[in-house]
Amino acid sequence: MAKIKRIFISNRGEIAVRVIRTARALGIETVLGVSEADRDTLGAKLATRTVCLGPAAATQSYLKVETVVEAAKGTGCDALHPGYGFLSENKRLAEACAKEGIVFIGPSPDNLDAVGDKLTARNHAEAAGVPLVPGGSIETAEEGLAIAEEVGFPMLIKAVSGGGGRGMKRVNSAAELPKQIDMAISEASAAFGDGRIYMERFVTVGRHVEVQIISDGETVIHAGERDCSVQRRYQKVVEEAPAPGLQSALRQGLLDAAVKYARHINYKSLGTVEFLVDVERGEFYFLEMNARVQVEHPVTEAITGLDLIALQIAIAEGQPLGLTQDDISLTGHAIECRLNAEDMDRDFMPSPGRVTQAWFPPIPGLRVDTHMQPGAMISPYYDSMVAKLIAYGETRDKAVEVMSTALKVTELTGVTTNAPLHMAIMDDAEFQAGGVDTNYLPGLLARIAAKKEAAE
């Protein structure tokens, strides 16, 4: 396949800037598709060219497959990078690109089909011999009860097409089951247009650990794991690599299972296989596979020295990976904090507005992925993430120290951010000890609220 010369980026924010950075280094031109609200962003200034996709609402711009493909075609692009979110895992976009002779920088439509539906993804995991959370699909309360009697309460109901925690319901007893099933089906139908649900064991003490996969379709390797257990309402807040305190046998089991899963579906591109580690049982279960670059990919880049976007582009060009598992060396520790424009004192309400100052200190060991600059406008139409701070150290303690310093001296004014929350996490002894589970952040927030109330 010929070398890619011009990439259309159908995304915005920091990931658009991130893709532009690597494309520039590779001598590839970029065309950024922007909404009317994003005409003056940093990404629009850095791209070789910009083209407007439509109004600010994502449904009228970033999410319109035909518009995106026509814009790529009309600007002479020979490839398209979807970033993450929006259409990044949209099979129809991948197919439309193929039809127009545009290289989709991501997996094949068949790969997207295999992992886009949670039940299909579970079936592939079962066929691949990858451990699954005990459970299954349900349509009625009777079916749910039969599964619950076998597995035991508490159980968790999930939407087949779900994401971000929507449609998820914890069920503690048989008496709660019928009502929770009705609510889950209703929410799933409203949010995703797909009312199918399934039910699985609720893991009381769990850690969210994921494995970075890289595959050219022939060679499948991993680039280590990331721990994403610091979450608020199922949204990742802090990520790190490697996952602290995992027993070596459990870690190797996760890595092997991820490679096995990717190999089973003939995966080709970057991807991430996500697992839930059951702390009490010392077991792990497949959750899902994300067929795209992840928000938290920089922590993997920090400990491997890889440029994952460059690898993603090379694989899309049809180049052989040129790497074996033995070539992947993991060194040091990295932590990423997602800096969001939100107010933790007002239940994390979004804080859109104009940024008056954006300055990130040039501290050794600190990387900043952002689209912020003085005068930047944080729109209410999109995700509130404004920057990712990535701290690297030879040890985890050093990475925490670098991050703490960065958070204290970073200047991002004009809007309210969640920097105080990140500072509280970095200062917390439990986090510093490593290996926290998904109950950690709600517990920390409760402790912060209690301390504040006592002081008033």
How far apart, in whole angstroms, are the C-alpha atoms of residue 72 and residue 66?
10
Question: 310, 305, 268, 307: which is closest to 289 by C-alpha?
Answer: 268
Q: Letter for the amino acid at 390?
A: I
160 alpha carbon, distance to own chain's centre: 18
How far apart, in whole angstroms, are the C-alpha atoms of residue 151 and residue 311?
42
Q: Where are the alpha helices (DSSP H) in 76-221?
A: 91-99, 109-116, 118-128, 141-151, 177-192
User: Which run of H or of E encompasses 131?
Assistant: none
How far apart, in whole angstroms, are the C-alpha atoms of residue 419 and residue 343?
9
Our CA dihedral for 55, 56, 58, 60, rounded to 10 degrees, sits at -10
How far apart, in whole angstroms, are the C-alpha atoms of residue 119 and residue 405?
44
How far apart, in whole angstroms, are the C-alpha atoms of residue 331 and residue 236?
23
How far apart, in whole angstroms, are the C-alpha atoms of residue 321 and residue 306?
12
Q: Give the N- to C-terminal CA distance of the chain in Å, as an integer.
A: 66
Active site residues: 292
Contact between 286 and 273 under an 8 Å Cβ cutoff? The reply is yes
How far apart, in whole angstroms, are the C-alpha atoms of residue 154 and residue 250?
24
Contact between 312 and 105 under an 8 Å Cβ cutoff? The reply is yes
Q: At what angle do helices 109-116 and 118-128 cross, to 10 degrees?
A: 100
Let me know how long the chain is.
456
Question: 372, 373, 366, 374: which is closest to 409 by C-alpha?
Answer: 366
Contact between 9 and 72 under an 8 Å Cβ cutoff? The reply is no
